[in-house]
Each structure stands twice: as C-alpha cells, then as structure tokens.
Structure 1
Amino acid sequence: MKDLLIALALAVTIEGAIFALFPAGMKRYILSVLDTPESTLRIIGLIAAV
C-alpha cells in the first residue's frame, strides 16, 4: 500500500511540475483535448489503462 501511495504522489508531483513549468503549453494541450472526438479519447483512455 505504501508503494501505491508513493507512486500516486510521484504522478501528482510530475503533473504539477509540468503545469508549473509549461502553463501555456498545457493550456494549448487542454484546448486540443476539447476538440478531440469522444471516441478517440475513449480509445486513448483504454490504451493508457492497459
């Protein structure tokens, strides 16, 4: 359980660092996700989960 919490903390830290270092790039990325069809997002999500 401790390893899972450490992995989760690391993922959140990395995500936060990306937003802190590249805020404009992350805004562009989020806007591009909004324009992506739902079917494509589903496929990407399934691939990421596996």
Structure 2
Amino acid sequence: MHDLMAAFGLLLAIEGICFAAFPSAVKKAAADMAAAPVDMMRLVGITAAAVGVGLVWLMRNHVW
C-alpha cells in the first residue's frame, strides 16, 4: 500500500507540474483525446498499463 500511495503522489506531482508549466498544451492534449476514437484510446490505455506493470516488475525483481 505504501508503494501505491508513493506512486499516486508521484503521478499528482508530475501532472501538477505539467498543468502549471504547459497549460495550453495540456488543454490541447485533452481536446485531442476527447476527439480520438474509443478503440485507439483503449489500445493506448492497455499498452500504457502493460508497460507500467512491466516497468514495476523489472524494477522490483532486478537490482541494478
């Protein structure tokens, strides 16, 4: 649970920085996402989730 809260905090920090530093670009990206086809959004979401799970697994199981 500790790692989940840390990840959520990092997500909020990164999003907050993006909103503060590039508000126009964030608005354009949100409008582009709203106009995107549902199937493309689903594919991007599944891909991002798979990459995220893979990255967490890699970091947890391999010490560099």
State how far apart, in whole Å, the 1-side matches of 2:10 and 2:24 are: 23
Runs of 4+ in 1 over 4 A off after TM superposition: none
State how far apart, in whole Å, the 2-side matches of 1:11 and 1:5 are: 10
Residue in structure 2 matched with residue 39 of structure 1 by the alignment: 39
State how far apart, in whole Å, the 2-side matches of 1:3 and 1:49 are: 17
Larger radius of gyration: 2
State how far apart, in whole Å, the 2-side matches of 1:7 and 1:38 are: 27
Residues 1-50 of structure 1: CA distance to partner in whole angstroms, max 9, x if unpaired?
22221121011111111001100000000011111100000000111111
For the pair 1:23 / 2:13, whether they are aligned, the reply is no
State how far apart, in whole Å, the 2-side matches of 1:43 and 1:13 are: 26
Gaps of 5+ in 2: 51-64
Residue in structure 1 matched with residue 53 of structure 2 by the alignment: none
TM-score (structure 2 length as normaliser): 0.72
Residue in structure 1 matched with residue 56 of structure 2 by the alignment: none
